[in-house]
Chain A
């Protein structure tokens, strides 16, 4: 194990179009839980039509960051923007453009698939008729049309996740956040979900922020943000992060950057 590599320039983020408004901009965000610092001066962007992996161990601050972006927590320091709308100042406009899949399941287990989707649509002010059409279309896309009237309780873990992703897309957001969405899923379900989300990026131009501690979910061409103990240690296109860390692969780069001694749990599948 060598000493940690120099920290990559933290503020630099890929900008394909100089005039573009980032799908998500995190600017100087810090967060305290009492005296404990959960996030320290975190800054990075997610571009539209890009897949950004937020890589960090458990406790790195990923879920805190998600709670700030989704307005569950008040922003203490810094600014979070979604397509230029400040989450603190105009949360309505910002959240309208945001779809989110939280790490813990947030479905109503006793309601049917359609009922869960209709409820979410109502929360976004989408009329019942329009909501029914969109729900049917999305259930079809995730291959669960025939289960539309079943209780969510009867679905498998992978199916629930697919439903949660469909739900997050119901109001047609342009930024999608996913907090460790594949945790607890089998290999096939993981692969299905990853390919589905990557398709959304390429086909619909959705900007995706994918929080994970599983290195094999990251592909060449992705943007990477390495978060460790509340700080961004490196960010940029995956290849550059690896090169700057003087490593051959993401795994080694991550370990050099964080000084981690061991592989993160569940690192390979």
Chain B
């Protein structure tokens, strides 16, 4: 075995190897998603309940004046649709990130992490794959919403795509950062109470911020500082073929910061050591 007794020079990885890896991870995530029908259904039911019941009930209570990007008076349902799209991504991002950090998916994370490609790249691919899944959910939601008279311009379905990719990445990496950094948030109920609900309600998802400002200036500033508000606004404007530059800058900046933080903080030993190395150390 002379050929295997000498050390080889490092050869690194080619761009095509990186691309193969990325597409493989996204492909698998898509396949798994198709097999998990309950996950798909619950991801759709949640925003639809808000749309069909909450929005219908509040239609008469909340009047929406003409604010950009809308050019005319709109129904409340139309107003909250982008917020619900962002909510789908918020839930999806938190769910998939939580399973990456804690061991529900640990077997699969082991398979992923023994890939020779750089760990940061693997985690980025995983976040991107999670985002791709959220896109499927969002477009399914938009399809149903269309029958509920939420009809953005046809080109809006295309122009919203990059906004959704960016917001999906931001929310996924935020989920990963939070669940890596805060030990107490190890179950989904904790994340719901302390992350999802505050982020969702203290944002422009359900009500325009000028209304919030009338009620409480402090809450208004809180909403303005909430990255989720900017994800919602980025999506809202993109859906009507416009760019909200401030929101774009905030979401892009937050994505970079959260992602670097999440990759830095990710510790695969956490999922393994908490119940002893999986399957019992030995």
Binding site for B on A (CB under 8 A): 17, 19-21, 23, 33, 38, 48-49, 56-64, 67, 70-74, 83-85, 90-96, 98, 100, 102-108, 110-111, 115, 118-128, 174, 180, 205, 213
Contacts and interface: CB of A to CB of B under 8 A. Distances in A.
Nearest to A206: B4
A98 B282 contact: no
A48 B5 contact: yes
Contacts of B273: 33
Interface of B: 1, 4-8, 10-14, 16-18, 20-21, 23-25, 27-28, 31-32, 35-36, 106-108, 110-119, 122, 268-269, 272-273, 277-282
Contacts of B23: 122
B282 A95 contact: no
B110 A72 contact: yes
Contacts of A21: 5-7
The 3 closest A-B pairs by CB, nearest first: A122-B24, A125-B17, A84-B7
Given A84-B7, A85-B10, 20 more contacts: A48-B5, A57-B282, A59-B281, A71-B113, A71-B114, A71-B119, A73-B269, A91-B119, A92-B117, A94-B116, A102-B110, A102-B279, A104-B106, A104-B278, A108-B28, A108-B32, A122-B21, A123-B21, A124-B116, A125-B21
Contacts of B32: 108, 110-111
Contacts of B279: 63, 102-104
A73 B110 CA distance: 11
Contacts of A63: 277-282
Contact of A123 (B5, B25, B36): B25
- Kindly name the residue among A57, A96, A121 whose own CB sees the greatest number of chain B CB atoms within 10 A: A96
A81 to B, nearest CB: 9
A30 to B, nearest CB: 15
Given A64-B277, A108-B28, A125 B13 contact: yes
Given A63-B277, A111-B32, A72 B114 contact: yes
- Kindly name the residue among B27, B111, B112 whose own CB sees the greatest number of chain A CB atoms within 10 A: B111
B20 A126 contact: yes
B107 A106 contact: yes
Contacts of B21: 122-125
Given A49-B1, A92-B117, A119 B278 contact: no
B31 A95 contact: no
B18 to A, nearest CB: 7
Contacts of A98: 114
B124 to A, nearest CB: 14
Contacts of B5: 17, 19-21, 48
Nearest to B282: A58
Contact of A48 (B1, B11, B107, B110): B1
A17 to B, nearest CB: 6
B15 to A, nearest CB: 10
A239 B259 CA distance: 53
B277 A100 contact: no
B113 to A, nearest CB: 6
Contacts of A122: 20-21, 23-25, 27-28
B16 A58 contact: no
29 contacts: A33-B273, A38-B281, A63-B277, A63-B279, A67-B277, A71-B113, A73-B268, A83-B7, A90-B10, A91-B119, A92-B12, A92-B117, A93-B10, A94-B116, A96-B116, A100-B114, A102-B278, A104-B106, A104-B278, A105-B107, A108-B28, A110-B31, A115-B28, A115-B31, A123-B117, A124-B116, A125-B21, A125-B117, A205-B1
A67 B6 CA distance: 25
Contact of A56 (B1, B8, B117, B282): B282
B28 A119 contact: yes
A106 B10 contact: no
Contacts of B272: 67, 72-73
Contacts of A115: 28, 31
Contacts of A205: 1, 4
Given A48-B1, A205-B4, A61 B281 contact: yes
Given A92-B118, A106-B110, A123-B111, A67 B269 contact: yes
Contacts of B11: 93
A205 B11 CA distance: 22
B16 A125 contact: yes
Contacts of B36: 110
